[in-house]
Every structure is written in C-alpha cells, then in structure tokens.
Amino acid sequence: MAAPAAPAAADKSSEAQLEAALADVPELARLLEIDPYLKPFATDFQRRYKKFIQILNDIGESEGGIDKFSRSYESFGVHRSADGGIYCKEWAPGAEGVFLTGDFNGWNPFSHPYKKLEYGKWELYIPSKQNKSPPIPHGSKLKVVITSKSGEILYRISPWAKYVVRERDNVNYDWIHWDSEDPYKFKHSRPKKPRSLRIYECHVGISSHEGKIASYKHFTTNVLPRIKDLGYNCIQLMAIMEHAYYASFGYQITSFFAASSRYGTPEELKELVDTAHSMGITVLLDVVHSHASKNSEDGLNMFDGTDSCYFHSGPRGTHDLWDSRLFIYSSWEVLRFLLSNIRWWLEEYRFDGFRFDGVTSMLYHHHGMGQGFSGDYNEYFGLQVDEDALIYLMLANHLAHTLYPDSITIAEDVSGMPALCSPTSQGGGGFDYRLAMAIPDKWIQLLKEFKDEDWNMGNIVYTLTNRRYLEKCIAYAESHDQALVGDKTLAFWLMDAEMYTNMSVLAPFTPVIDRGIQLHKMIRLITHGLGGEGYLNFMGNEFGHPEWLDFPRKGNNESYHYARRQFNLTDDDLLRYKFLNNFDRDMNRLEERCGWLSAPQAYVSEKHEGNKTITFERGGLLFIFNFHPSKSYTDYRVGTALPGKYPFLCYFLLKINLYSDAPQYGGHQRLDHNTDYFAEPFEHNGRPYSLLVYIPSRVALILQNVDLPN
C-alpha cells in the first residue's frame, strides 16, 4: 500500500522547488504566467538568476560595483595622467615579463618594464617631461613586449588600444597612441527611444557608388540624409570595431576598443553619431562578443604567449566553422574586458545600443552547428547551454539598461531560446528584441522552390506571426546575409539578369521586371506590417540594389566593384529603381504616423489559398494583399473590426492610405486612389463589419478609417 506514495513525494518535491524558484527570482511568476510550459524549467531560471546576482554582488565587493568595474578602460591600456605622465596597465597572466616600446623610446624593447601585480596584472608609470608634456605624444606608435615563460619575445597590441592603422601594404596593423588635443565635442542629445523601430542596417565602407572604401565623413554627408528621407529612425552600423580582414564584414574583430581606421578617425565617427542624433536617428553598434580573430600580432589571440588568457584553452577555445577564438565568459578579467567594451561604445561614442552578433553560438556549447531547433523546450535547457555566456549577456543587458534606460539591445539568435527577450528580473536574458531570422529564409525558399501560384498563404502568415508573446522581434525580408556573394537579394531572385537591361522607364515592362517590382513591394510591406515589433532593411536593398556584395579578396583580384552601394541609381529618373525607393519611403512614413510596429500583434482575418489573398488589421489599419499572379477580384468582401469615430452609425468610411499599384511606385494604377469604401455591419470572417473592394492581381493596399461628417 505504500508504493503509490513515491509519485506524491515527487510532486511535493517539484512544488517545493517551484516555490523556491519563485522566491529567488523576483518576477518569475510573471514569466510562468505568460508561458506556463516553462514551469518544468523554473529551477533553470532560478540557477541562472542566482548566478547573475552572485556575480553582480561579487563585483560590488571586489571592484566597488559594476559602474566602476565597467570603466576599466580608464586604467587599462595607456593613458595620460593629470600630471602629464603616462600610466599603463595590462592583464597578461601567462607572461614572464611585460614591457612598453615604441617611437617614444627608439623602439628599445626592454627599457620600460611593467611592474608585476596580483592576479596577472602589470602596470607601468612613465613620468612627464621636464616641461610637463607627456612622454608619449599623440600619434606615436607603440607595442607591448611580452616575454613568455618559454623565452619567446612577442610584440603585441594592447587589447585596450583605441586606434590602430595599417599603413600602405603592411600585413599587420600598428597601434597608434590616440590622445587628441582637440577631441570632438558632442552638440546634440540622444534621441528618445523610438516607439517603433525602423532600422537601416549599414556599412560605412561600402556606402559610396565608387569602387573604394568610403569614409565616415562621406557617410555623414551623403548617406544619413537619405536614411532620414526614407523614414528610418535607427541605423545599425556594421564593421565599426576594428577588424584586420576587410572581407570578414567586420565579424573577425582584432581591436575591440578601436573604431575602424579604414574609414577615418575616432573624431569623425563621433561626428557621424552626433549628426545622426541631430536628425532624430538612433544609432546602434553591431557588437561582436561571440568570438575574436585568430590574429596574434594585431589581435587578442596569444596575447600573453599562451593559448588561453581571454579564451578557452584547447579545442573549446576555437570555433571550427568560423576559425576564430572563443571567450571564456567565466573569467573575471574577460568579464571586465567585455563589460567595459559595452560601456566604452555607449559613452565614448554615444551609441544608443547594440545588435549582438552570434548569440546562438554563445548560448550553446554546440554553437548551433548541426542543430535544427525544433522548438522542444528541452533544447534550451540542460548541459548543452553555456550558462557562463548567458550570464554574461544578462550582465551586458543589465549594464546597458542601467546606464541608459532608453538603450536598445537586439539578439541575433536563430534558436528561439525562450525568455531571451524577457527582463532579467524574470530570469530572462534582458534583450529588447531578437531578429526574426526565419522570415528571410521563408521568402528565399518561396522564390527558389515554388511557382507564384503555389505559394502557401497560411504558411507565409505562420512564419510572419510565429513569435513568442511579449518578446519583441525585428522583422526583415532580407539583411546583409542575403546580399553577400554566394546568395542573392530578393530583387536578384525576382529579376536576375534583366536588371541589367530592362530597368529603364523608356522600355516597356517585361513580365520578369513587372513581377519583380510588384512582389518586391508586397514582400516588404507584409513583412513590415505583420512580421514583428521592429523592421530592418540592409542598405540599398530598399530600391532593389542590383548584383551581390563581395569585398576585395584574392578570389576577385582585390576588386571593389561589388563592395559599393549604387545610390545614384535611385536618383536617375529614367530608371525604375526610384519606384521601389519611393514605396519604401512612404511605407516607413506611414508607419511613423500610424505606429503599427508598436501596436499589438495583428488580427489575421483571411488567408485564402485559392484566391492567394491575405487580410489583417493592425494599428488601426486594414492591410489587404492579393498575391495571385493573374487574378483580380471585383467586389471582394473583406472583414474588419476597425472602430469608427461615430460607432452609432451603421456605416463608416475607409480610404486608401498606401497602394502598391500607384504609378509613383511602378504600378499600373488599376485602382483610383481616391475611391471611397463603406464598411457595413455585415459579419465576415469573424469580423463584425465588412466592405467590398476591387483587388487587382499582385497588389497590396492599406485602408484607414475616415471620420464621417456630422
């Protein structure tokens, strides 16, 4: 009779564990209320949160708090003291000796030794000259000299270097002491956090139509005004953290505190950010803390002569696919370095937040390689999760949002880890948004594998709406990934070689160009309206930029021909690129006025497979799409629940707000933009009102209520 007590005891134990977790994590109850299926994993959230709090407390006890800890860039590296002297500090636990050399001492490798401190730290003070001027002037070249335990003499760049350059045909970068006597003075305050985030993903170096590396100044003068005109309120700057290999797209970082010198000086980057702020544009940095370049002479690798230091030793310290080094996030000094790096970009350059690259690789010991992520919650908990990395991300988000509550953080995570975008107080990762990475894959799959008439409307809607409740997503039809050589942009998938010959307005529409222009607009609008709480576009893709993106490398004879953005194409009135540009601009401007991205998730009233139509309501607007390649519909009934200003009236009036078939968007004007639509109290598709509309083939339109007169 005693045997059945075992399950009861297990239930009691489980209940006790849940109660303990709820007691330890302040708002865990809210998370479990939102998603009850997470209850079996309450102890995982408890463990993560307790470790997060423990590290914060340890930082408080040992370092005086995270505020001081995250300002370690003020002491580490090389700095001018108030008395004109130079103070230097490094962490090199595997070094036998540390020295500073450079122009200032005639490159004598051993004349200026560092003093060894506790915990692998080293420091050096060089007094000022007799006239109180610093012994190391601005613009001097420097190197840290490491003598290893095996007797090697290694020349290194400080991990905290603020400016590095590669001169002429040199293979490696040189460390330049940056101590400008005329630092840039910011003139404009940070813009308020946008209620709706419309991100323009951009790369300074490729922002010119010329075959060369563009500059910060070029971007500030020529590209920022375009972005503002297009209606984007946020830019996400790629490839800013210094990277020796240009063709890495900025994802193989060599100097984490240095703004890339190939585009200009630190002061010119500050001017870019400040100018963007003056336009009301939020500026995000594409931050790469998921891995680091293998370079040793001008990178972090082997800094102290060992294969560890900032990274895991042995095989765990190398990413097999990326051929790069992996941080050891449990290390105190690695936390100091990375958290200080977060603060550096927020304060020194006044970035407003970050898009964290490679988050999936950080979150799991398998780095996402060979994993399909079916959505089974067991995939997100247990031994496969790198909780040290997850705790670091919680700390980074906590720091950014504590320093600047309006700062924005975005996770590039393909796994869909639950609670990654929930507050740390719930045991979550603390991100504001995650990228909706399944959406661009879906559009590419449809264009590659299916005829237009075989597109599945239900599957499109599912992909665009499949996101976790109250965890915000950035939707995008394509990003830089699809623009890279080896893949194709949506415009190229749609129009391919005809983009070279048939984009002139003087030539009649070919079937390929007509289809391409119409679907390009529809895909972007439905992604914008249905896919998330923010929207992202990679520079140039808004107007269907021709060709792919390929950086100069040996395989293309170091050519810059494809490492550019031809904005001049949209300025040519004789080319059809202007139509796509116009549509993108007006789509963003309408969102600015109506705010559908910040509205609750859309109500989809129709996804008709035979008719190829999709209808939904969001942000007080009625979106209607007809994806059918040839069928137009007269008197097509569409349901709506949009409230009118005068609810006691039996009818209310709707008018077209945006219409993809308008001539300024390269459409055929098969519908009068001034047409009035009257919604009547006739239930349809579960909506209390409905109206009759004419929907031409391959057309999207947005209707909005218009107040009826008294």
Q: Which of 151, 168, 408, 392 is nearest to 290 (CA)?
A: 392
Contact 290, 414 (CB under 8 A): no
CB atoms within 10 A of CB 540: 27
* CA–CA separation, 296 and 302 (whole Å): 6
Q: Which two tokens stand for residue 188?
A: 């404009």
Contact 705, 620 (CB under 8 A): yes
Taking the alpha carbons at both ends of the chain, their separation in whole angstroms is: 79
Q: What phi and psi, each to the nearest 5 degrees, are found at residue 189? A: -80, 160
Q: Which two tokens stand for residue 426?
A: 């719930």
User: What are the DSSP calls for 160-193, one per residue?
Assistant: T-S-EE--TT-SS-EEE----SS-----SPPPPP
Give the E-state strand segments of 18-114 in sequence order. 77-80, 86-91, 95-102
Contact 220, 204 (CB under 8 A): no
Contact 484, 540 (CB under 8 A): no
3-state helix, strand, coil in the chain (%, to 5): 35, 25, 45
In Å, how far are 200, 573, 574 from 577, measured between CA atoms? 18, 9, 9
Q: What phi and psi, each to the nearest 5 degrees, are found at residue 583? A: -65, -45
In Å, how far are 125, 176, 179 from 265, measured between CA atoms? 27, 11, 12
* CA–CA separation, 673 and 351 (whole Å): 41
At 502 the three-state DSSP class reads coil
**Catalytically active residues, by annotation:** 357, 412
Any idea which residue has 């995939």 for tokens? Answer: 379
* CA–CA separation, 251 and 235 (whole Å): 18
* CA–CA separation, 449 and 430 (whole Å): 37
Beta bridge partners of 410: 355, 433
The type of residue at 627 is: F
Contact 613, 624 (CB under 8 A): yes
**Which residues, at least 6 apart from 4, have a Cβ–Cβ distance to it below 8 Å?**
none
Contact 121, 114 (CB under 8 A): no
Environment class of 193 (CB within 10 Å of its CB; exposed 0-12, middle 13-18, buried 19+):
middle
At 510 the three-state DSSP class reads coil
* DSSP structure class, residue 599: S
Q: Which two tokens stand for residue 300?
A: 């972090």
* DSSP structure class, residue 628: -
Torsion sign, CA atoms 64, 65, 71, 72: positive
